Amino acid sequence: MGRKNNTNVSAFILMGLTDSEEMRLVLFSLFLLIYLVTVLGNAGMILLIRLDLQLHTPMYFFLSHLSFLDLSYSTVITPKTIENLLAYTKYISLVGCFTQMYFFISLAATECFLLSSMAFDRYVAICNPLQYSVIMSMTLCRSLITASYVMAFSESFVIVLSTNTLHFCDSNVVHHFFCDISPILVLSCTDTHEIEIIIFILGGFTAVVSIITMSVSYASILSTILKIKSNSGKQKAFSTCASHLLGVSIFYGTIIFTYLKPSKSYSLGQEHVASVFYTIVIPMLNPLIYSLRNKEVKNAIIRVMQKRDSTGHLR
């Protein structure tokens, strides 16, 4: 692969987050705890939605896929990060680096499209409640999910394939804790202008399509909510959207800050903070933001536990 890539580099060294021995132990414990909570929270949400029939609705169909994506892209990054916090030499092979990059970009882009689908679902639920079951059919939901995966994984393939043509002649030290696109471009000893344009176009397409979809959806939702005369009705409608808006703001804020800028403006400290947030922290927060605060989810947990107590096992 080294010859095909016209590079003398066969592996990269991930510098990680800190050189301090004490801080590495603190981060190891913190990230391990966060990852365990992420796995339990997201896997638990997927299992709960699968077991409880009352959660077999479009909203929770999308939430189950959101949990799957959060669990997956956290697993792509966090275990290796945790391992490197205790490792003396933080090597990652060339193949391993580009594989990590491919799946991370694919899963993160899929989540962008999924969040816009969830916004459309909330738009239909609030603005066209009488036609909700007709419009948001399972056929449409599956089509939206399939399109999200296909577009995201195709975009990522183009980006990673383009990056794989770069020459890495001098340094193989990645000043980051995982193989993200920006620190890899910085290492290249060849012109990265064309690849940056590709990344900007594809990343911009994902962001623009998703943001426009969500903006139009929530503009219509806000207009509909303001027409509701009952304060309790307004509060209920706002509560339906508040969690999604919070999750979207956090996720898109860090993604846009990180990717939609030239690699020459790469800032080590800023990049680390943003990257830790959206790769490690957000996957843990999403089950809380979207689901665990929801009364339907709490009631579903009670129903599943009662069913288990009455039968002695889950059915």
Beta pairing, strands 11-14 & 91-93: antiparallel
Helix (H), strand (E), coil (C) string for 15-31? CCCCCCHHHHHHHHHHH
Identify the CA nearest to 124 among candidates 224, 209, 233. Answer: 224
Question: Do residues 175 and 183 make contact, with C-beta atoms less than 8 angstroms apart?
Answer: yes
Per-residue model confidence (pLDDT) at position 114: 94
pLDDT digits (tens, 9 = 90+) for 64-86: 999 999 999 899 999 999 999 88
Per-residue model confidence (pLDDT) at position 28: 93
List of residues 6+ apart from 200 with CB closer than 8 A: 260
Domain 11-311, classified CATH 1.20.1070.10, yes or no: yes
Give the DSSP per-residue string, 247-308: HHHHHHHHHHHHHSS-GGG--HHHHHHHHHIIIIIHHHHHIIIIIIT-HHHHHHHHHHHHHH
List of residues 6+ apart from 192 with CB closer than 8 A: 166, 185, 263
pLDDT digits (tens, 9 = 90+) for 36-57: 999 999 999 999 889 888 888 8
Query: Per-domain residue ranges for the chain?
Result: 11-311
Per-residue model confidence (pLDDT) at position 313: 54
Rounded to an integer, what distance in angstroms lies between the CA atom of residue 96 and that of residue 10? 10
The pair of structure tokens assigned to 174 is: 């990645």
Identify the CA nearest to 259 among candidates 120, 104, 114, 118. Answer: 104
Cβ atoms within 10 Å of 262's Cβ, excluding its own:
13
Structure-model confidence comparison of residues 91 and 72, the more confident one: 72
pLDDT classification of 111: cutoffs 50, 70, 90: very high
Structure-model confidence comparison of residues 217 and 5, the more confident one: 217
Q: Which residue has the tokens 């414990």?
A: 29
Per-residue model confidence (pLDDT) at position 2: 39
pLDDT digits (tens, 9 = 90+) for 189-229: 888 889 999 988 998 898 889 989 999 998 998 888 888 87
